[in-house]
Amino acid sequence: MVADLGKRTRETEPSPVRGRQGPVWTYLLMLLASLAALIVSFALSAETLQMARHPGQTLSCDLNAKVSCSTVAQSWQSEFISLAGLSFPNAFFGIAAESVFVTVAVIGLSRMVMPRWFALCTWLGSAAALLYSYWLFTQSLYVINALCPWCLGLMFATTIQFMTCSHATVTVQNLPSQGFLAAKLKTYYRLNIDLLVDAVWIIVLISLILLRDGSAIFG
């Protein structure tokens, strides 16, 4: 029984590697990205309350017809989640979600043992947050036809959060632990291929914004 307990503990312990593949680097970046997303969520919540108290008032991030927080905030996409007949701004859920990711990053930095199910749920939650932010981003860019600077900041922070969470899940939490996919993912991070992929990823996002609304942003 003691041997089995020791085996399970070793399986869930973070990898002892250091540098870019260790817990300090990966979870520190995840913490910074999650903190940035949390601060932006608070700012968006404050702007939402400001609009509710003073309808029609121009917000500080309303720069022009294209770069306008109020235009995005007044769309149905900004409050499409309803409970008991009440709609809730997306930013409120962002505060709750990012608080969890900040906590997870702190746990990772302290090198506490994470159960495999917990590490997997963290990654799935990060992926869900990423997909949610990208849906809002595409709605803003192509449907609402207005950009919210705070929303863009949240989208980029969520992207980096997912990148670092994925990195930590593979190199620190050792998930997946075996098989063809595990070997390929470990090689992917060990050779720093992720740096190139992440850089291209960010460039593509910036390019989409500039191609669509570059003239309005810098005009």
Of 136, 143, 101, 102, the closest CA to residue 122 belongs to 101
Residue 216 pLDDT: 72
Judge whether residue 45 has pLDDT over 80: yes
Neighbours of 118 (CB within 10 A): 14
Q: Say yes or no to pLDDT of 70 above 80.
A: yes
- pLDDT higher for 192 or 74? 192
What pLDDT sits at residue 1? 46
Give the residue-averaged pLDDT of 111-130: 93
Distances (CA, A) of 62 to 48, 78, 79, 211: 13, 16, 19, 20
Instruction: Provide the whole-model pTM.
Output: 0.86
Q: Considering the chain, what percentage of its residues have pLDDT values greater than 70?
A: 88
Give per-residue pLDDT as tens, 150-187.
899 999 999 999 999 999 999 999 999 889 999 999 99
pLDDT per residue over 51-60, tens digit each?
778 777 777 7
User: Which tokens hold the place of 128?
Assistant: 């869900």
Q: CA 178 → CA 15, 20, 174, distances in Å?
A: 14, 21, 9
Distances in Å between the Cα of 69 and the Cα atoms of 43, 62, 149 are: 11, 6, 7
pLDDT, residue 197, reads 97
Q: Which of 6-10, 28-32, 72-76 has the highest mean pLDDT?
A: 28-32
Domain ranges of the chain: 20-51+60-218
Higher local confidence (pLDDT), 15 or 214 = 214
> Would you tell me how many other CB atoms lie within 10 Å of the CB of residue 136?
22
Residue 144 DSSP label: I
What's residue 92's pLDDT? 85
Instruction: Give residue 11's pLDDT.
Output: 45
When computed from its CA atoms, the radius of gyration of the chain, rounded to whole angstroms, is 20
pLDDT at 86: 67
* Fold of the domain spanning 20-51+60-218: de novo design (two linked rop proteins) (1.20.1440)
What integer best gives the mean pLDDT of the chain?
A: 85
**Residue with more model confidence, 144 or 83:** 144
Q: What is the pLDDT of residue 3?
A: 47
Q: How confident is the model at residue 213 (pLDDT cuts 50, 70, 90)?
A: confident
Residue 83 tokens, joined: 């409970």
Instruction: Quote the pLDDT of residue 83.
Output: 67
